[in-house]
Structure 1
Amino acid sequence: MKRTLGVILAGGLATRMGGGDKGRLLIGGRSLMTHVIDRLSPQVAHMALNANGDAGRFDDLGLPVIPDSIDGFAGPLAGVLAGLDWAADKGATSIVTVAADSPFFPSNLTERLKQSADGQVHPLVLATTPKTGEEQLKSGGKGRVNRHPTFGLWPVALRDDLRAALDGGLRKVVAWTDLHDGREALFEAEPFDPFFNINTPEDLVQAEALL
């Protein structure tokens, strides 16, 4: 039996889309969240949705809805913590997180993240893609990959450490993963970045074309 559970992170404020639930936007006549659920479902044992506010608005998805346990908008790490607490109650050892607004993530995401975690006591891996030449120029040559902090493999065993870090004010995902020797799994970004996420109306048009 698979011991890894999946958590869809949908706790963002979607300010560049005018607010609301970005995952409800449509491409190809189906919501982004439906695309994400269909892609993640074969890769994990069970799934949950991390979202705040009225959970009833997601009843049609048939998923448990788990809110952040950290007050205020604490970013994706708060969603990760909520997922880890949920997974602990299920007796699972790890979770894989994905973003609700990224409908094209790899169909072998979980497999590749686990491969990269081989030998780790506490599997902790973030997805990455190579930077383009233009991106490397813009960054002044700093780093050769883009890290995608909402796509990762997270160990239930470190949930109390994460809780303490969030209570202490830490918000940056990579600041916490680096503290625990987090690894990276490199995915190809051709013909397009599979972790492309929809933040603006223009992105939605591009996603429709990619689909």
Structure 2
Amino acid sequence: MSGTCGVILAGGLSRRMGGGDKGLLELGGLSLMERVRDRLAPQVEAMALNANGDPARFAELGLPVVADSVEGFAGPLAGVLAGLDWAAGQGATHIVTAAADTPFFPRDLADRLRTAAESSGQPIALAATPDPERGLARHPTFGYWPVALREDLRRALAEGTRKVVAWTDRHGTAAARFDCAGHDPFFNVNTPEDMIRAKEILKEGAA
């Protein structure tokens, strides 16, 4: 295979939801992860789930589960590395990542990330939305990542790098801008209150 694989990032601890797998929480008859899977699948050639612990709990998703190779819940970069390692085995050149708790992300995410990287000549692209204070706010769990940089990322993690942008900015990173019409497309479910809002967005048909 050549091309782009998708990786759903679900390796976090979900502390604000009381722990457990918040991606398995139901929203409108489907789990959050199922909604993320169904949005990402048409955009990529193959897909995997990055999660730690017993993979059997995700069997209904029908996806290969790849765990972090870095111990101690090292954050999203560890999930990106796990995805890159898996994609290398598929013969892919890039991955697109999406967070498991963000059910309304754009249906053209992969194409726009790829276009942003290619048009700017940068190896990595991150999704971004307008922000009144910063101009653009980047969403580092929604990115376009080259498999060719996986050994560099492995070294960075071994050296203690944990913040996504601390690594991406070393290599040059494009911003793929997504405007917010009605709701933030990268709205994520962190708390019970967020789940209430997600149900409202779904009911409004805005997603």
TM-score interval (norm. to shorter): over 0.9
Q: Percent identity?
A: 63
Distance (Å, rounded) in 2 between the aligned partners of 1:113 and 1:32: 22
Q: Kindly report structure 1 stretches of 4+ aligned residues shifted beyond 6 Å.
A: none
Distance (Å, rounded) in 1 between the aligned partners of 2:18 and 2:112: 35
The CA RMSD over aligned residues, in Å, is 1.2
1:42 to 2:42 alignment:
yes
The DSSP-based 3-state class of the residue aligned with 1:112 is: helix
Out of 145, 154, 162, the position equivalent to 1:163 is: 154
Kindly state the Cα deviation for residue 123 of structure 1 after the two structures are TM-superposed.
2.7
2:141 corresponding residue in structure 1: 150
Out of 159, 166, 182, the position equivalent to 2:173 is: 182
1:140 corresponding residue in structure 2: none
The DSSP-based 3-state class of the residue aligned with 1:106 is: coil
Deviations 1:97-128 (A, max 9, x none): 00000000000000000110115666300000
Alignment of 1:36-115 (within 5 A): 36-115=36-115
1:207 corresponding residue in structure 2: 198
Kindly state the Cα deviation for residue 146 of structure 1 after the two structures are TM-superposed.
1.1
2:5 corresponding residue in structure 1: 5
TM-score by length of 2: 0.95
Question: Do the aligned residues in 2 keep the contact of 1:123 with 1:155 (CA within 8 Å)?
Answer: yes
Distance (Å, rounded) in 2 between the aligned partners of 1:48 and 1:193: 25
Distance (Å, rounded) in 1 between the aligned partners of 2:55 and 2:28: 25
Identify if the C-alpha distance between structure 1 residues 155 and 122 changes in structure 2 by more than 3 Å, giving closer, same or farther.
farther
Kindly state the Cα deviation for residue 60 of structure 1 after the two structures are TM-superposed.
1.3
Deviations 1:157-194 (A, max 9, x none): 00000000000000000011100011110001121110
Kindly state the Cα deviation for residue 210 of structure 1 after the two structures are TM-superposed.
0.1
Distance (Å, rounded) in 1 between the aligned partners of 2:123 and 2:188: 25
Gaps in structure 2 of 5+ consecutive residues: 203-207
Question: Residue 198 of structure 1 aligns to which amino acid in structure 2?
Answer: V
The DSSP-based 3-state class of the residue aligned with 2:118 is: coil
The DSSP-based 3-state class of the residue aligned with 1:117 is: helix
Gaps in structure 1 of 5+ consecutive residues: 137-142
The DSSP-based 3-state class of the residue aligned with 1:95 is: strand
Question: Residue 51 of structure 1 aligns to which amino acid in structure 2?
Answer: A
Distance (Å, rounded) in 2 between the aligned partners of 1:116 and 1:95: 14
Identify if the C-alpha distance between structure 1 residues 74 and 115 changes in structure 2 by more than 3 Å, giving closer, same or farther.
same
Distance (Å, rounded) in 2 between the aligned partners of 1:207 and 1:182: 30
Identify if the C-alpha distance between structure 1 residues 104 and 122 changes in structure 2 by more than 3 Å, giving closer, same or farther.
same
Question: Residue 54 of structure 1 aligns to which amino acid in structure 2?
Answer: D
